[in-house]
Structure 1
């Protein structure tokens, strides 16, 4: 970070953004949730809101990249984060499919609880809030357009997403999440319900997934 950079956001938004950045950096198992194009654009936007050029061009460009990433996925930030959570592949999601919940390591369970609480905070950082922070940083008369579309998660993803939305603390759902992974899998096998093996490649209806 450039030591000459100065925070351009208000003290309140600056503190919130700083807290979100620290939390995102402290994920223990679910780092991949933020490693796709949308997650990267989200993190870069937080950085731009916290530290930006005096003319705010960097912040506006970062917001544009974030908006574009959501539009390309055709998902809201909240829906994107939940789908990445449900499709994520990590030591917990793999072991949850192989062992009973009571046989999982207490340290592994504690790590999942930690990560779920962080992901809940990131989930609650809506695109509308980000737009308002950008408006403040860029000193714009109105806030940038907010990407939004009606929720289109389907099937079991919708049911689990609704369940999460009703919880005060996502950290309480570890056992239910383990059951979800055991029933529906994780990684490619959770994201794509129909796969086939052809000529040494895993294929879906959309084409080649892995070499």
Structure 2
């Protein structure tokens, strides 16, 4: 046991000497792990018996809550860690990085490799000794579920190029952990359960889909792509198309940032946070319209057209709206002979009406006719292999549209979801 404790002390010292990867222990599991080590280190048997056991219990509980092994946890944290190496290697080849940065990375990777080979059983033995109890709290190891290159390599010092390739493809920090993000309390936070809809699920507006995909591919290729307004009838799949892009192009570096209408005044701040990130971003604004020429209007205008600050080449705005003219216009807005408040009042009106022209592209979504609606119904039914006669399916789909929200992609989806559940219950 003395040899084991010496080994433990060495690990404790090595963790303290991490140069770049200190932040991998910032979450609940990492803090619980460090708490166990620190309490063992103190080893005041008169006061920490229970605390040491509790610390180990918290570590196990946090691993169990995510159903992952200690090894899986450690690798996942390494692969998303935001540090000088993981940041710079996204822009520069490994051989072009400063030598001290490479050496610091190799130093940390060797330590993390040692931690990877540390088992819960070994930790529990240290807890038993430090807490002076006759039993080990070890229950068992969780199975490793991931199969990354780090799992497959015994010596992680040989994996720096693979690690660099991973950071270059997937990014770091919040941009590696999440496909989609949103703006909340003046910061970007991840959306853990992004909409899984795919482009193959959306039919009926093929030319609009093709244009949207082509423009997104131009963005991903590093060229000047265009901001897009998706305008048309409700339920036509405008929002679904934008969200489907994320699942199509995520592996190529696309991320989606959801911004509510009420948050548009923060757009310049959001863009400034994104402009130096290697990934490409679509700022998604759903159901866009303005009551008047307000701060939100001006902020969006700055992002679309730019100001003294250069436009961010890695950020686009994709907005949906049911209104072709995004700013509400009232009869009272029209100039009348008796109005002497503004000499060029028509210029102001045209400024409002032409705001949608500031988007480089406007894609129009016409209301679905009966053939389009039924094509969508058949497509959705075939995707889930729905067992129902074609004529009955069409008859019931028409009934549903008449009794509910009219013909649209959204109505078709709602009908198929209900029908699938109904048929499931009957069998």
Question: Quick check: 1:67–1:147 contact (8 Å CA) kept in 2?
Answer: no
Question: Quick check: 1:197–1:203 contact (8 Å CA) kept in 2?
Answer: yes
Quote the residue 1:161 is aligned against.
150
Q: Quick check: 19-28 or 37-46, which moved more?
A: 37-46
Deviation at 1:141, TM superposition (A): 4.1
Question: Quick check: 1:14–1:49 contact (8 Å CA) kept in 2?
Answer: no
Quote the residue 1:151 is aligned against.
144
1:131 has 2:124 as partner: yes
Highest relative contact order (Cα 8 Å, sep 6+), 1 or 2? 1
Deviation at 1:78, TM superposition (A): 0.8
Render the CA deviation track for 1:56-77: whole Å, top value 9, x for unaligned: 2222122112112212332211
Quote the residue 1:178 is aligned against.
164
Render the CA deviation track for 1:68-93: whole Å, top value 9, x for unaligned: 22123322111100000001011111
Question: Quick check: 2:40–2:127 contact (8 Å CA) kept in 1?
Answer: yes
Q: What SS does the corresponding residue of 2:148 show, helix, strand or coil?
A: helix
Q: What SS does the corresponding residue of 1:75 show, helix, strand or coil?
A: coil
Quote the residue 1:81 is aligned against.
74
Tell me: CA distance 1:73–1:205, structure 2 relative to 1, closer, same or farther (3 Å).
closer
Select the residue among 1, 4, 7 that pairs with 1:16.
7
Quote the residue 1:191 is aligned against.
177
Distance 1:125 1:151 in 2: 14
Quote the residue 1:50 is aligned against.
41
Q: Quick check: 53-62 or 27-36, which moved more?
A: 53-62
Question: Quick check: 1:41–1:62 contact (8 Å CA) kept in 2?
Answer: yes
Distance 2:60 2:105 in 1: 29
Q: What SS does the corresponding residue of 1:181 show, helix, strand or coil?
A: helix
Which consecutive segments of 4 or more residues in structure 1 shift more than 6 A? none
Question: Quick check: 1:113–1:172 contact (8 Å CA) kept in 2?
Answer: no
Select the residue among 2, 22, 25 that pairs with 1:34.
25
Tell me: CA distance 1:147–1:84, structure 2 relative to 1, closer, same or farther (3 Å).
farther
1:204 has 2:197 as partner: no
Question: Quick check: 1:60–1:138 contact (8 Å CA) kept in 2?
Answer: yes
Deviation at 1:188, TM superposition (A): 1.6
Render the CA deviation track for 1:65-124: whole Å, top value 9, x for unaligned: 211221233221111000000010111111111112221111111010000000011111
Gaps of 5+ in 1: 1-9
Question: Quick check: 2:86–2:164 contact (8 Å CA) kept in 1?
Answer: yes
Select the residue among 101, 114, 118 that pairs with 1:108.
101
Structure 1 length as normaliser, TM-score? 0.80
Q: Which has the higher helix share?
A: 1
Tell me: CA distance 1:196–1:44, structure 2 relative to 1, closer, same or farther (3 Å).
closer
Distance 2:40 2:190 in 1: 40
Distance 1:30 1:173 in 2: 16
Deviation at 1:205, TM superposition (A): 4.1
The structure that has the greater radius of gyration is 2
Root mean square deviation of aligned Cα: 2.5
Quote the residue 1:122 is aligned against.
115
Q: What SS does the corresponding residue of 1:89 show, helix, strand or coil?
A: coil
Gaps of 5+ in 2: 195-256, 259-269, 271-427
